Amino acid sequence: MTRISTSQDALRTELLAATKSLAAGIAPRRVEIEALRYLPQDIADALAGAGLYRMLTPADYGGLECHVGTFVEVIELLAQTDASAAWCTFISCTSCVVAAYYSPVVARDLFGDINLKAAGVSAPRGHAVREVKDGISGYRVSGRWSWGSATKNADLIHGGCLIYGAGEKPEMLASGRPRIQLMSFKKEQVSILDNWSAFGLCGSGSGEYEVDNVFVPEAHSVCLTEDDALDRALYKFPIFGLLGIGIGAVALGIARSAIDALTGLANEKAPQLSGRTLAMRPTTQLEVAISEAKLRSARAFLFETVHAAWNAAEESGYITTEQKRDIRLATTHAVNSAKEVVGTMFKLGGGSSVFEQSPLQKCFRDINVAAQHMMVSDSIYELTGRIFLGLETDVSML
């Protein structure tokens, strides 16, 4: 297995510096982002231009192919300023991992623009019928996908599809599962539906999108569970694992922002009928300390699993089922720990937390929406628990 030559340490330093700079410009526009319900195009362009959207794109096609730990740090840092911006960034990053599964010629064509913004949903909500058009094998595709985060700004949008041949039933793999192909559409082939109005992550633009009777060449589709990816450390990580890692990183950033907001408030606010500031109350001291320990522990667990998997991928070219299990457990634990921390900070803030100008109410809304994602649901505890217990388990979704 080959290794990339770029200094990962230098890349990490550059990306974190760029993130801090971008965050300073995003911070005063948080209200605008929420009201718009998706990222303003200039912000998406700036994030892409700084390289944040191509952190996980193969270096062969102009990407940065950075260490997964760096990816976590960048998304976490950005989420401390605005969770929606961080969410859209990690979605574009994980959507660009797909380039590693394409042939070099197609990957350069689809992903070669260094300012590319990608998005998409792998859930098989599309119907793809095999067809030959002008001598080119491909699919006639129609479908409608939900949870299309970042699609409003995207140049390239993916959609998972069930494949149909001559019959009415979908094609099956040797494993007995239906074949699911991920189709890549240019933005002009996709209709973005303006139906994202949510409680949290308001600026992520996570509404629906659809395609109608679109022809997709065979070369512009991949099967993520069957096709081989580039033989390098980053692409040994399963795509679902990377998606979960991104959610975990956003959650960690939101929770850190909540603790920072509460500690700032605690030294200024004196609760009604009290002569002491919130910070002087033993309950506040106790809960802040416990929350710090909870958040840092969850963060450490996530980084431990990510670094262990990366080292294994570099040294042996393989990430074990147990390492994949640990990543999924750590990401789910990070999100749930962050949710608990934010809830505690919101409660400690008392009445001050409920006003629109309070960052605590935004943290509360954003973390509760992020935690609803199926990639970090309680079913992941069940899945990983079965593996720990040695029970027969379908590990294809790890």
Q: Are 74 and 163 in the same domain?
A: no
- What is the domain-level CATH number for residue 304? 1.20.140.10
Contact 136, 148 (CB under 8 A): no
CATH, residue 26: 1.10.540.10
pLDDT in tens, 55-84: 999 999 999 999 999 999 999 999 999 999
User: What is the pLDDT confidence band of residue 1, given thresholds at 50, 70 and 90?
Assistant: very low
Is the pLDDT at 298 greater than 80? The verdict is yes
- Taking only the tens place, the pLDDT of each residue in 48-62 is 999 999 999 999 999
Is 123 strand, coil or helix?
strand
Does a structural domain hold residue 107?
A: no
Per-residue pLDDT, 368: 99
Let me know if residue 138 belongs to a domain.
Answer: yes
The pLDDT, as a whole number, for residue 274 is: 67
In a domain, 245, yes or no: yes
Give the span between the Cα atoms of 368 and 122, in whole angstroms. 23
pTM: 0.95
Q: Which domain holds residue 354?
A: 237-388
Same domain assignment for residues 311 and 276: yes
Q: Tell me, yes or no, whether 299 and 332 share the same domain.
A: yes
User: Do 214 and 189 form a contact (C-beta atoms < 8 A)?
Assistant: yes
- Inside any domain, residue 110: no
Residue 4, pLDDT > 50, answer no
Does 2 have pLDDT greater than 60? no
Task: Please tell me whether residues 169 and 303 are part of one structural domain.
Answer: no
Does 249 have pLDDT greater than 70?
Answer: yes
For 93-122, the pLDDT digits (tens) are: 999 999 999 999 999 999 999 999 999 999
Average pLDDT over the chain, rounded to an integer:
95
Number of domains in the chain: 3
168 and 262 inside one domain: no
Burial of 275 (0-12, 13-18, 19+ CB in 10 A): exposed
Parallel, antiparallel or unpaired: strands 221-222 and 191-192: unpaired
Pairing of strands 191-192, 156-164: unpaired
* Tens-digit pLDDT profile for residues 112-170: 999 999 999 999 999 999 999 999 999 999 999 999 999 999 999 999 999 998 777 89
pLDDT band at residue 309 using 50, 70 and 90 as cut-offs: very high
Residues 183 and 250 in one domain: no
Domain-located, residue 395: no
